[in-house]
Structure 1
Amino acid sequence: MRPFPCPPRCLAVLTAALLLGGCASLSPDGGFEAIQSAARSHLQKDVVWSRDEAAHPHIQSRIDALLAQPLSADAAVQIALLNNPGLQAAFNTLGIAEADWVAAQRLPNPGISIGRLTRGSEVEWERSLHLNLARLLTLPLRAGIEQRLYEQTRHMLVLDVLRLAADTRRAYYAAVAAVQAAQYRQQALDAAGAGAELARRMAQVGNWSRLKQAREQSFYADAALEVARSEQVRLQTRERLIRLMGLANADALQLPPRLPDLPAALPALPDVEQQAMASRLDLQMTRLQAEALAKNLGLTRRTRFVNVLELGVVNNGSNEEPQQRGYEISFELPLFDWGQTRVAAAESRYRQALERARESAVNARSEVREAYAMQHSQYAVARHLRDEVVPLKKRISDENLLRYNGMLIGVFELLADARSQIATVNAAIDAQRDFWLAEADLRMALLGTPGKTVAPTSVSSAPAAATGGH
């Protein structure tokens, strides 16, 4: 029996496949160390993959310690990275990708077939061992593709970690701003209530017209509506933060009464576009995807004519004839499908990945410029309100108080001025909140795909802004 001929290149590929398949095994941590390192580098935070049940009490004790005091933005982000169930579910895609990579490195399982044939008194046993030769020959290429997909999955999970951190930071600032705004709107309601009660009493004794009384009562009704709406915003933002942090008990969350102060100055970022192009993980991920599709295109072109190729060893035994040994090769004849469709689809996917990579680069430059400009503009607005408008309103209020003590103005003018001052403070709170949201957007724009911040719905300040008419 002549041996099956195999050229030197075929032998080299088979040898590499055997070596590659012999050493493939799952890693102890599933490649999670790279995600932990990225979280420490970009966020200075810890992230865990809670596969080990024994680690759960330690994680829970750390979360309880962070919740035992009024929450900060960094503490909220840390709890979310430790406790968010959606993130923990996403981490399992890393295990799936690693399993696919290891499976692609291992030799294909052989197939065994056994047949029993009879012819009169003759009984013939047919035994054959089959091996998918096409998969064996392309094993190094497939392993390289799965490795790049594994790396792409790891980059995607790092991006998920950064996105969760940014979303949690935004939700924290929105929730704290809603608490602070609700407090000031309650003060506006108290001022409007005092004015409405005083107008009612004066109207009873005939010293106040029904029109003026109705106007004060309208201010009070509008202020009560603002308080109800602000309470809705406070509840919505608080619950969103709780969901991102993965907390089952909402009562455990303690928010501070006010937002953090504005920084003294903003750090300069002269090369913000270049920094984003070098560090954005979504761009790295699109590059990896394009590389994987390029390798896949090469594999598709190599195997376009041979879709199924099997090498088999045959051993036939009979009770009357000598035993038969040999081999067989089976393959699919490309009579109707010459593989053009597979190659065309692979080429289209590759060109699509290239265009998406170019689109991501263009969008990244624009997004980081927009986020940088928004951070500086929101900072300027918040500082202007804090340093100019609010002190000016307070000075006006102090002067009106002196005039009221000197009986130069009435109590209704004083109450209207108080409402105006509270409206200005509410505007300052909104501007301070918008700055911190813009700051979180800039962080994400420098590291990955930015999420457009949608500020919580602000209730109107019409009754608080009304100052005249008395």
Structure 2
Amino acid sequence: MTIPRRTITLAVLASGLLSGPAWPKDPPLHAVEKAVTDRTGFAVRWQQNAQAREEALTQVRALLKKPLNVDRAVQVALLNNRDLLATLEDVGVSAADLREAGLWKNPSINLSLRFPDRPPSATDAEEGVAFDLLDLLMIPLRKRVAADHLVAAQLRVADEALRLVAEVKAEIYWLQGDAAMLAHRKTIVDVNATAVDLAQRQHEAGNITDLALNQQQATYNAARLALAAAENEQREHREKLNRLLSLWGPDTAWKLTEGLPALPEGNVPLRGLESLAVAQRLDLAAARAELESVVRALGLTKSYRYIGALEFGVDTEHNPDHSNVTGPTLRLELPLFNQGQARVAKSEAELRQAERKLEGLAIDIRSNVRALHDKLAALRETVQFYQKEIVPTQQAVATGTLLRYNGMLLGNYDVFATRAEAADAEQKSIEALRDYWITRTELERVVGGNLHPQRPAKTADYKTN
């Protein structure tokens, strides 16, 4: 039995339409949720309806009832940050574009009526239906381009979530460091206040000069200004964290856990860190997906550059003598003046642009990894030097000064000065430890969210029970 040529053509066309990426089986945000959880251990959710949003708010308020640590703050941000929730919808938009790319364009119907100006007076009518055959042929490749766009959107959104995680962690470390340093600043202020009070009494008794009194007052004023600046900085960081967590009203009355984490054992090794960053950075993966999309779009442009329009249909004309004329119609645009040269040149330029951006991003990532690794190692040495050398030495000096004061070998102001210097050393030690953890967070972000991907991501403590 011979199969008609028309049947073969339709079969080939159908197989082409069915090939290529189909509508994803998993929800579009599943890839985002998995990428964030794998790298950080925290959950991000697509809140598509009022019920899902209310469940997230319930969990957020339960977390806020406990003192905020890094884990709880990050989980609140991923569930509640409005900018992130808005960015998640980019994936929904791209998923809808993928579905749109696989749909046939609706056929067009043409109707016309012509009225004669002399007998016979019967109206001449004509109707036709036409399909855009070119659009039909482009569906498979168009779906692949849209699928690349969806993957790129998923990667960009997941990368935004990781950026938010890093920002929240940094703000928590800032606040924990601020809280610890404020105690030492207040000690410095109290010590200088005592010194000024003593100086005033001695000045009234005529035991010290105006210059000595003014010097003590100036030192006290400087300590008060430093304390006020630190308190203002703490309020600024608290408000920044409120913005990152999208909190307002009574929800901003949260409390913070005290104390920075201790310095971890061992340095973060540089070996393999650059390769790890290139392998797991989501924005770099998004750039690769966008490059693939540009390559496919260029292929689409080149494949159909000579075909501006291709429509096939059926047309029927009703003549005044009541006879009908029916037959196929074909509209083909002749590429006489525009052969798609500009479109091809534009696509090639976009391809080169995407390649250079991808290369530049990879180079920047490697450079940032090296720079932050060096900074982290230097801060680690600084913290250790403060904790093992400077702080113990200042404490020993303060203790020795107090012993000599008790033996009437030193005066009051020597005791005040050594106490202030010891508190200042403690404060700078805490500042260095805070900077270490902030830099470590930045390095985690640059590497792609996790310095040790071979280890299972920890499960964050965000359960409400």
| TM-score, normalised by the number of residues in structure 2 | 0.90
> Is 1:14 the equivalent of 2:18?
no
What is residue 311 of structure 2 aligned with on the other side?
A: 310
What is residue 188 of structure 1 aligned with on the other side?
A: 188
Secondary structure of 2:317's counterpart equals strand
Query: Whole-Å Cα distance in 2 between the matches of residues 423 and 187 of structure 1?
Result: 9
What is residue 290 of structure 1 aligned with on the other side?
A: 291
1:202–1:208 CA contact under 8 A, matched in 2: yes
2:444–2:450 CA contact under 8 A, matched in 1: no
Secondary structure of 1:128's counterpart equals strand
Candidates 26, 37, 42, aligned match of 1:40: 37
Alignment of 1:197-208 (within 5 A): 197-208=197-208
> Is 1:427 the equivalent of 2:428?
yes
Counterpart residue type for residue 224 of structure 1: R
Query: Whole-Å Cα distance in 2 between the matches of residues 353 and 24 of structure 1?
Result: 26
Counterpart residue type for residue 391 of structure 2: V
> Is 1:87 the equivalent of 2:84?
yes
Counterpart residue type for residue 56 of structure 1: R
Query: Whole-Å Cα distance in 1 between the matches of residues 71 and 441 of structure 2?
Result: 12
Q: Deviations over 1:410-449 (max 9, x none)?
A: 1111111111112111211110111001110111121179
Further displaced range: 394-403 or 439-448: 439-448
Higher relative contact order structure (alpha carbons within 8 Å, sequence separation ≥ 6): 2
Secondary structure of 1:122's counterpart equals coil
The CA deviation at 1:6 is 7.2
Query: Whole-Å Cα distance in 1 between the matches of residues 156 and 177 of structure 2?
Result: 31
Report the aligned-residue RMSD. 2.3
What is residue 444 of structure 1 aligned with on the other side?
A: 445
What is residue 156 of structure 1 aligned with on the other side?
A: 156
> Is 1:51 the equivalent of 2:13?
no
The CA deviation at 1:69 is 2.0
Counterpart residue type for residue 83 of structure 2: G
What is residue 240 of structure 1 aligned with on the other side?
A: 240
The CA deviation at 1:105 is 0.8
Query: Whole-Å Cα distance in 1 between the matches of residues 71 and 384 of structure 2?
Result: 23
Counterpart residue type for residue 82 of structure 1: L
Query: Whole-Å Cα distance in 2 between the matches of residues 178 and 92 of structure 1?
Result: 36
Query: Whole-Å Cα distance in 2 between the matches of residues 257 and 417 of structure 1?
Result: 27
Further displaced range: 401-410 or 94-103: 401-410
Query: Whole-Å Cα distance in 2 between the matches of residues 12 and 148 of structure 1?
Result: 27
Query: Whole-Å Cα distance in 2 between the matches of residues 12 and 351 of structure 1?
Result: 38
Query: Whole-Å Cα distance in 1 between the matches of residues 45 and 101 of structure 2?
Result: 27
Structure 1: segments with no counterpart, 5+ residues: 451-470
Further displaced range: 242-251 or 417-426: 242-251
What is residue 418 of structure 1 aligned with on the other side?
A: 419
Further displaced range: 412-421 or 94-103: 412-421
Counterpart residue type for residue 134 of structure 1: L
Q: Deviations over 1:191-236 (max 9, x none)?
A: 1111112111111111110000000110111111111111121011
Query: Whole-Å Cα distance in 2 between the matches of residues 103 and 17 of structure 1?
Result: 17
Query: Whole-Å Cα distance in 1 between the matches of residues 17 and 70 of structure 2?
Result: 52
Query: Whole-Å Cα distance in 2 between the matches of residues 42 and 190 of structure 1?
Result: 46
The CA deviation at 1:13 is 5.3
Identity of aligned residues (%): 30
Query: Whole-Å Cα distance in 2 between the matches of residues 6 and 168 of structure 1?
Result: 63
Secondary structure of 1:306's counterpart equals coil
> Is 1:178 the equivalent of 2:178?
yes
What is residue 460 of structure 1 aligned with on the other side?
A: none
Further displaced range: 327-336 or 136-145: 327-336
Candidates 56, 59, 62, aligned match of 2:59: 62
What is residue 272 of structure 1 aligned with on the other side?
A: 273
What is residue 464 of structure 1 aligned with on the other side?
A: none
Decide whether aligned partners of structure 1 residues 406 and 343 sit closer, same or farther in structure 2, where only a CA change above 3 A counts.
Answer: same
Counterpart residue type for residue 49 of structure 2: D
Counterpart residue type for residue 166 of structure 2: A
Query: Whole-Å Cα distance in 1 between the matches of residues 12 and 235 of structure 2?
Result: 63
What is residue 165 of structure 1 aligned with on the other side?
A: 165
Query: Whole-Å Cα distance in 1 between the matches of residues 186 and 6 of structure 2?
Result: 86
2:39–2:450 CA contact under 8 A, matched in 1: no
Query: Whole-Å Cα distance in 2 between the matches of residues 241 and 446 of structure 1?
Result: 23
2:36–2:162 CA contact under 8 A, matched in 1: yes
The CA deviation at 1:27 is 5.7
Query: Whole-Å Cα distance in 2 between the matches of residues 294 and 94 of structure 1?
Result: 21
Secondary structure of 2:410's counterpart equals coil
Query: Whole-Å Cα distance in 2 between the matches of residues 59 and 242 of structure 1?
Result: 17
Query: Whole-Å Cα distance in 2 between the matches of residues 20 and 125 of structure 1?
Result: 41
Query: Whole-Å Cα distance in 2 between the matches of residues 337 and 403 of structure 1?
Result: 96
2:36–2:43 CA contact under 8 A, matched in 1: yes
2:242–2:252 CA contact under 8 A, matched in 1: no
What is residue 456 of structure 2 aligned with on the other side?
A: none
Structure 2: segments with no counterpart, 5+ residues: 452-465
Decide whether aligned partners of structure 1 residues 69 and 160 sit closer, same or farther in structure 2, where only a CA change above 3 A counts.
Answer: same
The CA deviation at 1:331 is 3.3
1:24–1:106 CA contact under 8 A, matched in 2: no
Decide whether aligned partners of structure 1 residues 431 and 105 sit closer, same or farther in structure 2, where only a CA change above 3 A counts.
Answer: same
Decide whether aligned partners of structure 1 residues 272 and 63 sit closer, same or farther in structure 2, where only a CA change above 3 A counts.
Answer: same
Secondary structure of 1:51's counterpart equals coil
Counterpart residue type for residue 84 of structure 1: N
The CA deviation at 1:112 is 1.3
Query: Whole-Å Cα distance in 1 between the matches of residues 283 and 252 of structure 2?
Result: 37
The CA deviation at 1:333 is 3.3
Secondary structure of 2:266's counterpart equals coil
The CA deviation at 1:81 is 0.6
What is residue 226 of structure 1 aligned with on the other side?
A: 226
| TM-score, normalised by the number of residues in structure 1 | 0.89
Query: Whole-Å Cα distance in 1 between the matches of residues 229 and 264 of structure 2?
Result: 30
Query: Whole-Å Cα distance in 2 between the matches of residues 182 and 444 of structure 1?
Result: 28
Secondary structure of 1:138's counterpart equals helix
Decide whether aligned partners of structure 1 residues 6 and 294 sit closer, same or farther in structure 2, where only a CA change above 3 A counts.
Answer: farther
The CA deviation at 1:52 is 2.4
Query: Whole-Å Cα distance in 1 between the matches of residues 174 and 151 of structure 2?
Result: 35
The CA deviation at 1:253 is 1.9
Secondary structure of 1:329's counterpart equals strand
Counterpart residue type for residue 306 of structure 2: F
Secondary structure of 1:112's counterpart equals strand
Decide whether aligned partners of structure 1 residues 428 and 200 sit closer, same or farther in structure 2, where only a CA change above 3 A counts.
Answer: same
Aligned residues: 443
What is residue 364 of structure 1 aligned with on the other side?
A: 365
Counterpart residue type for residue 61 of structure 1: T
